[in-house]
Chains A and B, each alone.
Chain A
Amino acid sequence: MPAALLVIGEVADGHLTKLSAEIATLAARLASEIGGEALGLVLDAAPDVPAAEMAAHLPRVVSVASGPAADEVWAPHAAAEARRLVGEGATHVLVGVTNDGRDVAGLLCGVLGWGILANAGGAAWEGGRLVTDALVLAGKAITRSTVDAPNAIVTVGPGAAEATALAVPGTVETRTPAGETPVPAAVVLERVAEEGSAVSLEEARVVVVGGRGVGGPEGFGLVDELAALLGGVTGASRAAVDAGWIPYARQVGQTGKVVRPLLYLGMGVSGAMQHRAGMQGSQHIIAVNRDPDAPIAEISDLFVIGDLFEVGPALAAELRARRAG
């Protein structure tokens, strides 16, 4: 039986996430290479818009309105939907490397016993088996992995494919919820947004990161200003988070968010391995640091040797002047 790749879509602010669109594109390509099937799942309180967005990348999308389950954590319900689609023939399940995505992958692994190809940065068929690349050991190596079985769960990181629309959009099929979840779903009592988090770090086109060099919470004023001027989002290194200058939700790195923006601008970030694991996939990297030996220099397109409190304001002024001009 040919493979059928199921992509579990994630929704943020009413839209399919960029990562889910990338994974959908990846799955559609993989399916077409072997004459298999690719389908998507959207489970959300308001699934119509994101399901239509997903159908731009996949021939078939199953859309489920979560109903009362919207007040419970998402992953057990998404796992229940995935299990139903596995029962109907899905052979591979692909989800994003996000907290929700990894919860679904783990729950499905627990109930299905399928192998996991984790943190895929790319995927291809080799001898009829899916082989994925993943950065491991905080970015020190890339492993190529496979599962010697007809089934697998794949967690996919950002940038595995560039989201591309199909010539003809796929169909959307509306369904009622599958019902029984693999674990009782925890209730969400409250959703709390922290300041400065309107756009998620993972989705941002530009990420400006403050490190130990910003010196304190007030130093992030400059980082925020540059982020605003560049249409980007503020992030932080672990050192700045550990110092209590900025919430953990802003942390970029192996134990924080993995970002892959068009532009990464580091202000006073040394670039420890732990941090690089979360940002080295950025398309353009610019770093401002006083220390000419800072390790981030090795991966920077521009490595600006100077005091961020001089270069930063000068850059803000330059960006304002060019915008006005």
Chain B
Amino acid sequence: MRILVMTKPVPDPAANAERMGPDFRLDRGASPTVVNGNDEYGLEAALQLVEALGGEVAILTMAPAIGVETMRKALAMGALRGVLVADDALAGADIPTTIRVLAAAAQTQEWDLLLGGLDTSDGAGGAVTAGVAARLGLPLLSAAAHIAPDEAGRKVRVRRLSAKGYDLLEAPMPAVISCTQALGTPRYPSLKGIMAARSRQITTLSLADLGEGLVPAGGQWPSRVVGVQPPPSRATGRAVTGDAAAQAREIADYLTAQRII
């Protein structure tokens, strides 16, 4: 089983230090960077599959050259090698370009399953993994909560989160899977893993390695942010203190006054 996991470096949501630059793009220097959460759940699932079935896990990242630092964290978890697509012409790339570039880069590798996050914590467009499946013309198994390839390596079954529970899906491999938190908690890298990650190979590809026509002519992205503002603050509410019975009455009074009950 060969699994390629798309991993995006994102600002650490826990650090709470994200900032927009003057061009309304995310200021990538403002915050410590981590592997996007949903990508990391996919990586954990991939590592567990390979531990059970044999094979290898590799990671694919499109990021500025500094992205190797975040890739080392994913390698420390157990991925064996990495592919980084880094090119100055990709700064601020929009979603369709990201899809084209990742699909082209994925085609330079051999794999049975291509995993990516359902969405990312910074952009949260939630379109890239599905878009890559479309570019490659491969089955998309999305919103995965569980991944089970058959032993012959021909088909894969995925539990896909639904509004009411999950749907059990099946498709032939190779296939593309979008991953969620429901796959389970990622492991912490061991000290041994961190040491090993230092010597693992990260291959850097530029746009020239991937063929023509991936980036719009003139280097302008049609999609752009034209303004940023803080979210509207809600009108300040009131604190309700006192004994529980009085508090319950006050809640019920509010619900009645607002015609909720």
* A residues lining the B interface (CB < 8 Å): 12, 73, 75-76, 79, 97-99, 102-103, 105-111, 113-119, 131, 135-149, 152-153, 155, 182-194, 197-198, 200-202, 206, 230, 242, 247-249, 251, 254-256, 262-263, 273-274, 280, 284-286, 288, 292, 297-307, 310-311, 313-315, 317-319, 322
Contact = CB atoms under 8 A, between A and B. Distances in A.
A197 B163 CA distance: 8
Given A117-B223, A148-B224, A137 B244 contact: no
Interface string B130-154: 1111111111111101000000000
Contacts of A197: 163-165
Interface residues of B, number: 95
B247 A306 contact: yes
B254 interface: yes
A110 B214 CA distance: 12
Given A73-B160, A144-B227, A187 B169 contact: yes
A148 B222 contact: yes
A262 B260 contact: yes
Contacts of B239: 292, 297, 303-305
Given A138-B121, A314-B245, A105 B127 contact: yes
A140 B212 CA distance: 38
Interface of B: 11, 13, 16, 18, 20, 24, 37-38, 94-96, 99-100, 103, 118-119, 121-143, 145, 157-172, 175, 178, 180-182, 185, 220-231, 234-235, 237-241, 244-245, 247-252, 254-256, 258, 260-261
Contact of A146 (B103, B175, B224): B224
Contact of A144 (B13, B175, B225, B255): B225
A148 B37 CA distance: 31
B13 A274 contact: yes
B231 A185 contact: no
A113 B260 contact: no
Contacts of B161: 99, 248-249
A111 B135 CA distance: 6
Contact of A110 (B99, B157, B175): B99
Nearest to B182: A248
Contacts of B37: 255
Given A116-B95, A255-B180, A200 B164 contact: yes
A191 B223 contact: no
